[in-house]
Copies of this chain bind each other. A is one copy, B any other.
Amino acid sequence: METIISMETKQVNSLCDFPVFKTQNDLTLCSFLSSKKQIDLKKGEILFLEKEQYKGVYFICSGLLKIYHTKSKKHEFILGLGQKWDIIGIDSIISNNPYPHSVKVVSDAKAYFLSPDEMLELFGTNTDLRFGFLKEVCSNIKKIENRITSIVNKRIKGQLAEILLVSSDCENNYAASVKLSIQDISKLIGTTQNYIYKIISDFTENKLIKIENKKIKIINSSELSVIANGLE
C-alpha cells in the first residue's frame, strides 16, 4: 500500500536536501543549489495548465498539490498528489513538450523553482545527476502503472478505505481529510461526491469510522484494511 499523503516531518532547508542531489560533491553545484530560495505557493494557485508551454521544474518542500486532467469544466480527475520531496515538471523539460497535465495548490506550500535553462545546465553537466533525474521519471511510470491497475481492480469503497488508512495520523487516527476535501477525494478516485458521502455514511453506520469536528476518525482500522485490500 503506497503512501498517498506523506507523513514525513523532516524539514527541507536547502535544495541540496533533495535525494536526487545527495550524491553531489561538486562544490560549484552545491553552491548554486544552496543559493536558491524557497517560493510560497498559495492555496488555490495554479502552477500550470495542461498544454501550457513548460516554464520550469518545482521541487516541493511542504504542503499539498494536485496533478490533474480536466475533461471539461465539470470533470476533473486527479492523477496524483504532489507533496514533500516530489519533483514536478521534469518530463516536459526532458521531452521538450508542453505540460501533459495541470497542477494546483491544495494547501499552502513551499517549493524551489528551477528554470528550463537552470535544469538543462544541471542535466547536461553531471552524469550522476542526470541518472538521478531519469530514475525519478522512471519511478513515475511504475507509480502510475500501479495506480491504473489498482483503480481497475478495486471497488470504489476499497479505494476510499485505502485513502483514509494511508492518510491517517498514526497517533490520533484522524484521516487527513482536512488536507483533501471530499470533493477532491471523489476526483482522486474518479467517482461522484454523492457516492463518497454514501460510503462514508456506510462506514460510520458500521462503526469503522466516526466524524469528529468535521474530521474523519478511524475506529476500526483492521476492518478498513480488509476492505482496502478487497478481501471482504
Contacts and interface: CB of A to CB of B under 8 A. Distances in A.
Interface of A: 69, 71, 75, 77, 79, 91-92, 94-97, 100-101, 124, 127, 131, 134-135, 137-142, 144-149, 151-153, 190
B71 A138 contact: no
- Identical chains bound together, number: 2
Contacts of A138: 91-92, 94-95, 97, 137
A5 to B, nearest CB: 19
Nearest to A101: B145
Nearest to A147: B148
Contacts of A91: 138, 141-142
Given A91-B141, A141-B141, A149 B97 contact: no
A151 B151 contact: yes
A8 to B, nearest CB: 22
Given A77-B149, A77-B153, A152-B190, 16 more contacts: A69-B146, A71-B153, A79-B149, A91-B142, A92-B138, A94-B134, A94-B137, A95-B139, A97-B138, A100-B142, A100-B146, A101-B145, A137-B137, A137-B141, A148-B148, A148-B151
Contact of A148 (B79, B94, B95, B97): B79
A97 B136 CA distance: 12
9 contacts: A75-B153, A77-B153, A94-B135, A95-B138, A95-B139, A124-B127, A134-B137, A137-B138, A153-B190
